[in-house]
C-alpha cells in the first residue's frame, strides 16, 4: 500500500504538482531527520541535511525510475549527503558530541552512583560510535539505530550485502575494543 501511495505521489510530482511534494515531505520528514541526526549527531546539521535531501529529491525526481522504492531512494540520497558532510567536517577537524544514545535511565536521587555510571557509559558509547570511519558508522547506524536489514542497507548504500556485513562486523569489533570496560566478550 505504501509503495503504491508513494508511486502515485511521485507520478504527481513528476507532472509538476507541488502538493505531491509537500505530502512526501510530510510523510518522511521525521524519519529523514532522525536518520541525519543519527549520522551527524548534531541537531542543526540534521535539519539542514534533511532539508538538503528533500531539495535534491525535488530537483532530481525526473531521474527516479522506480527500480527501488521511493523511500529507499530518499534514504540513499540522505545517507550520501550526510556522508559528504561528515567527510568535509572531518577535514576541518571538528569534533561534535551530543548525548543521543539512550541508556536505561536511573533516578539520580535513588541511585546517584548508577546514574553517573550510565551517563559515563552513554558518553563513551556516543564517542565510540562517532570515532568509527564514515562507512562503518553509517552501516552501524542504519542497522542498530534505524533497524534496517542488511539488504535494505545494501540497497541504500549501493553496495553488496557482504560489504554491509563486513563493515558492520568491523564496526562492532572496534566498538567492543573501545568499550572493553563496559561490555563482556
134-159: per-residue pLDDT in tens? 889 989 988 887 788 898 888 888 88
Answer yes or no: is pLDDT of 30 > 90: yes
- Quick one: 156 exposed, middle or buried, by C-beta within 10 A (0-12, 13-18, 19+)? buried
Q: How many CA atoms lie within 13 A of 69 on its CB side?
A: 13
pTM, 2 dp: 0.63
Residue that the C-alpha cell 541525519 belongs to: 36
Residue whose entry in the numeric block shows the C-alpha cell 558532510 = 85
Instruction: Summarize the confidence of residues 126-137 as an average pLDDT.
Output: 87
Under the banding of pLDDT at 50, 70 and 90, the label for residue 113 is low
Per-domain boundaries in the chain: 1-96
Confidence band, pLDDT 50/70/90 cuts, at residue 106:
very low
Give the span between the Cα atoms of 72 and 65, in whole angstroms. 12
Rg (CA), the chain: 19
Q: Given this model, what pLDDT does residue 180 score? A: 82
Q: Considering only CA atoms, which of 71, 32, 50 is closest in space to residue 156?
A: 71
Q: What is the pLDDT of residue 156?
A: 84
Instruction: State yes or no: pLDDT of 102 exceeds 60.
Output: no
For the domain bounded by 1-96, which CATH number is listed? 1.10.1740.10
Angle at 38 between CA 3 and CA 30, to 5 degrees: 45
Report the distance separating Cα 177 and Cα 136, nearest Å: 15
Nearest to 132 by CA among 164, 174, 96, 79: 174
- Separation between Cα atoms, residue 38 and residue 49, nearest integer Å: 12
Amino acid at each position: 500500500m505504501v509503495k503504491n501511495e508513494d508511486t502515485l505521489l511521485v507520478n504527481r510530482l513528476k507532472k509538476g504538482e507541488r502538493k505531491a511534494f509537500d505530502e512526501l515531505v510530510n510523510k518522511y520528514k521525521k524519519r529523514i531527520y532522525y536518520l541525519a541526526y543519527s549520522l551527524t549527531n548534531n541537531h542543526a546539521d540534521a535539519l539542514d541535511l534533511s532539508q538538503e535531501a528533500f531539495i535534491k529529491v525535488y530537483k532530481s525526481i525526473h531521474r527516479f525510475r522506480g527500480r527501488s522504492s521511493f523511500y529507499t531512494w530518499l534514504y540513499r540520497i540522505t545517507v550520501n549527503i550526510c556522508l559528504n558532510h561528515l567527510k568535509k567536517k572531518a577535514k576541518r577537524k571538528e569534533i561534535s558530541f551530543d548525548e543521543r544514545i539512550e541508556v536505561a535511565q536511573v533516578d539520580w536521587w535513588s541511585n546517584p552512583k548508577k546514574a553517573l555510571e550510565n551517563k559515563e557509559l552513554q558518553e563513551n558509547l556516543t564517542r565510540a560510535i562517532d570515532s568509527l570511519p564514515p562507512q562503518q558508522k553509517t552501516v552501524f547506524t542504519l542497522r542498530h539505530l534505524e533497524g534496517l536489514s542488511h539488504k535494505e542497507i545494501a540497497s541504500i548504500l549501493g553496495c553488496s550485502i557482504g560489504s554491509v556485513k563486513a563493515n558492520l562486523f568491523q564496526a562492532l569489533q572496534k566498538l567492543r575494543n573501545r568499550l572493553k570496560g563496559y561490555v563482556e566478550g
